Amino acid sequence: MSKMGYDYVCLGNHEFDDGPAGLAPFLVAMREANVTVVNTNANFSNEPLLRNISLPTSVKLNISGTQVGIVGAVLPETRVLSMPGLVEFDDDLESIKKEALKLDEEGVKIIIAITHSGYPRDLEIVEQVPQIDLLVGGHTNTFLYHGDGYPQENTKEGDYPTLVNRSDSSLGLVVQDYWFGKFLGFLQVSFDKDGKVVNWTGNPILLNSSVKEDEGMLDIISCYKDNVTRAFEEVIGYSKVLLEQADNICRLRECNLGNLIADSYFAYYADMESRDPDHWSNVNGALLNGGAIRAPIPQMGIRVTYNVNMTAGCRVVSLQVLCRRCKVPLYEDVEDDKTYRIATIDYVTRGGDGYKKATNATSGGPADYTVLVDYIKKMSPVKAALEGRITVLNGTERVTIPGDTVTNPSLLQNATLSARILSYYTELQKYSQNIFHRLSRLV
């Protein structure tokens, strides 16, 4: 990141995906690279692996005689979206407001916020904290642009920058980061002598072939490029149907790509030779977390019906799983006094995405992407369909409820599914924000 010219950054929820043990060396490396991580709302004091790492709650710069302050915050939902251990998260808006007021009292004229809270929340922050002049945000990968001329495959969701007119007549600007390094943000802002925004210009720059590649960066990535290129060029199969991945589909209801991935997990264990001849499968079903493909609960071998209008703890209407001790596979109601065997990924068993951390652990399973690749090779051409695995009652398909989501493990608890979670801690491989997990089993 230092080679890319970053000076100041904030934390994001994915920085915690490897837990405190993974975040600690990253923060040390950032410090050694002279990239300052500004942390206004994450409290490390109760986490043994992080408590000795000090991050500034804000930074003050003197630019041509003008005091400029920088604050940085991560969304508090990181506590359930990732695996932060004992790190505590204060409200992002209130933390920024408190730090901005302190900077203002110290004579700072211009304040810039760096956040990983998402575009809607960023607009709230700038509206309610008049000391913030400019906010650079991320998390929702929102594409903003001024005017026309942007790639047709992108959908413009607002102006770049988005203007926030506040009740005190001041003006705040909001811009957003995008994903995969497709664009380079470019914004020039002019301020008056009192530090108020008076003028601005700029737009995201598309980093296509017209932009000359940096020789130094090419040298850095050369050791990875050959392996990645070979992997991308390998054809493992093809699909005769569109595999849906859009947020407005997979975040809100069952989608066929989620079904395909869950099917691959289930098939891996079901195809194994069973020690008990009365068991046709080693597992009853498979599920994965919402963040795996941005879907609520993709699953195989599980049928769930829930009523999102009911209160938390009462939303599951019915829950069925495939029988294991049977000659002909069929779905049966979950019973309170039975233990069921479920295949999932270790990210879930280690407490990711709001699931409770496993109390028992054991090894098991290969990396999930290898299972999916093998399954696609075997099943090509893929014809994944919607099969009614997730049923929503009362005429709504929205699964996100204020204060709770159906990705919460209470879904299983509501149905009194007894399960002991066995997980396998694995090395996580990352490339282009993809995280590969190993399969685990709920037993």
**pTM to 2 decimals?**
0.70
Q: For residue 300, what pLDDT is reported?
A: 53
Answer for the pair 200, 162: CB distance below 8 angstroms, yes or no: no
Provide the residue type at 22 as one letter. Answer: G
Q: For residue 247, what pLDDT is reported?
A: 60
Q: Phi/psi class of residue 432: alpha, beta or left (left: φ > 0; alpha: ψ in -120 to 50)?
A: left
Tokens for 416?
């009194």
* Dist. CA 42–CA 91, nearest whole Å: 9
In terms of pLDDT, which residue wins out, 239 or 299?
239
pLDDT for 145-163, tens place per residue?
999 999 999 999 999 999 9
pLDDT for 307-327, tens place per residue?
877 887 788 888 888 888 777
Q: For residue 358, what pLDDT is reported?
A: 66
Q: With bands split at pLDDT 50, 70 and 90, how would you rate the model's confidence at 272?
A: confident
In terms of pLDDT, which residue wins out, 248 or 402?
248
Domains and their CATH numbers in the chain: 8-206 (3.60.21.10), 237-442 (3.90.780.10)
Does the pLDDT at position 48 exceed 80?
yes
Q: How far is CA 9 from CA 111, 180, 411, in A?
A: 14, 17, 36
pLDDT for 162-221, tens place per residue?
999 999 999 999 999 998 889 999 999 999 999 999 999 999 999 999 999 999 999 998
* Dist. CA 428–CA 114, nearest whole Å: 27
Provide the residue type at 13 as one letter. Answer: N
Answer for the pair 319, 302: CB distance below 8 angstroms, yes or no: yes
Mean pLDDT of 376-392: 81
Residue of 75, 71, 135 lying closest to 104 (CA atoms): 71
- Share above pLDDT 90 across residues of the chain, in percent, rounded to a whole number: 46
pLDDT for 86-138, tens place per residue?
999 999 999 999 999 999 999 999 999 999 999 999 999 999 999 999 999 99
Residue 45 phi/psi, 5-degree rounding, is -60, -30
Q: For residue 324, what pLDDT is reported?
A: 80
Which DSSP state fits 57? S
Q: For residue 86, what pLDDT is reported?
A: 96
pLDDT for 49-62, tens place per residue?
999 999 999 999 99
pLDDT for 177-191, tens place per residue?
998 889 999 999 999
Listed ranges 29-43, 291-305, 334-348, 360-374; the one with the highest mean pLDDT: 29-43
**Beta-sheet strands, E only, within 139-195:** 162-165, 171-176, 183-184, 187-191
